[in-house]
Amino acid sequence: MKSLGVRPRLHEAEYLSVNPAGTLPALIDGDRTIYESLAICEYLAARHGSDLVVAPGEPERPEYLQWLLYGEATLQAPLSAMARVGRIRNKTPEMQAGIDAVLSDSRHSLSMRLKLLEQRLEGRDFLVAGRMTLADISVGYPLFNLGKRDFASLLGSRAAAYRERLLARPAFQCAVAIR
Ligand SMILES: N[C@@H](CCC(=O)N[C@@H](CS)C(=O)NCC(=O)O)C(=O)O
């Protein structure tokens, strides 16, 4: 495994030859290269026979797909917008006003989107199928990022406790230590 910083890898010819879009992560397994974090998770889970996937045929498969995509598409999107405008340098006052508008809108959007999570966690430790699945991993990533941006106050009590549980997992701690 090779870990790259967000900015430098955009100029690393070696990485761009793996993923011309320059986005992280990418997985190389033999002669196969896969982008998209959730596709990588599904691929690894299937390869190693993990029950982190809710398989077609299991009753909660539709909810699994919904929450799997909710993490990366719905929750992460406003956080990514904030990260992108946060990287802009040499700002004029007009640009700063635009950036502030994006930040404020993204924060609002995030707080609205988190309502679904708070609702879903009523009486549940995990999002679907009564067990830890890739849906929890997908949602755990934006929840982790949200803490880094000091937005943890946007979480309701159930989502806050859920975030703590996910971040305390030894597998998560291990992933953070090697990134
Ligand atoms: N949907 C993609 C998103 C990939 C992505 O945007 N990764 C971030 C790092 S977490 C990135 O490379 N950001 C830099 C950029 O967009 O230029 C995935 O899940 O793999």
CATH code of 132's domain: 1.20.1050.10
Place of tokens 């946007």: 154
- Cβ of 6 less than 6 Å from ligand 1: yes
Question: Which two structure tokens, joined as six digits, stand for 53?
Answer: 């996937």
Question: Which two structure tokens, joined as six digits, stand for 159?
Answer: 């989502």
The answer to the question of residue 152 being in a domain is yes
The answer to the question of residue 52 being in a domain is no
Domain count, the chain: 2
> Rounded to the nearest whole angstrom, what is the distance from the C-alpha of residue 121 to the centroid of ligand 1?
27
pLDDT digits (tens, 9 = 90+) for 8-44: 566 788 889 989 998 889 999 999 999 999 999 999 9
Whether residue 131 is found in the same domain as residue 163 = yes
Phi, psi of 13 (to 5 degrees): -55, -35
The pLDDT assigned to 178 comes to: 83
> Rounded to the nearest whole angstrom, what is the distance from the C-alpha of residue 48 to the centroid of ligand 1?
25
The domain of 167 spans 61-178
> Rounded to the nearest whole angstrom, what is the distance from the C-alpha of residue 37 to the centroid of ligand 1?
9
74 contacts 113 by C-beta, under 8 angstroms:
yes
- Cβ of 136 less than 6 Å from ligand 1: no
> Rounded to the nearest whole angstrom, what is the distance from the C-alpha of residue 76 to the centroid of ligand 1?
10
CATH number of the domain within which 37 lies = 3.40.30.10
The pLDDT assigned to 88 comes to: 92
The pLDDT assigned to 9 comes to: 63
The pLDDT assigned to 2 comes to: 75
* pTM for this prediction: 0.93
> Rounded to the nearest whole angstrom, what is the distance from the C-alpha of residue 96 to the centroid of ligand 1?
24
* Ligand 1: nearest atom to the Cα of 6: 14
Sequence letter at residue 82: M
Task: Return the HEC string of 67-130.
Answer: HHHHHHHHHHHHHHHHHHHHCCCCCCHHHHHHHHHHHHHHHHHHHHHHHHHHHHCCCCCCCCCC
- Cβ of 36 less than 6 Å from ligand 1: yes
CA angle 159, 175, 158 (to 5 degrees): 5
Burial 69-106 (b: 16+ CB within 10 A, else e): ebbbebbbebbebbeebeeeeeeeeeeeeebeebbeeb
- Spatial CA neighbour of 65 closest among 51, 78, 50, 53: 53
The pLDDT assigned to 10 comes to: 65
- Long-range contact list for 51-54, CB < 8 A, 24+ apart? 51/131, 51/133, 52/132, 52/133, 52/134, 52/137, 53/133, 53/134, 54/128, 54/129, 54/133, 54/135
Query: Could you say which residues of the chain have pLDDT below 70?
Result: 5-10
The answer to the question of residue 164 being in a domain is yes
- Cβ of 37 less than 6 Å from ligand 1: yes
The pLDDT assigned to 4 comes to: 74
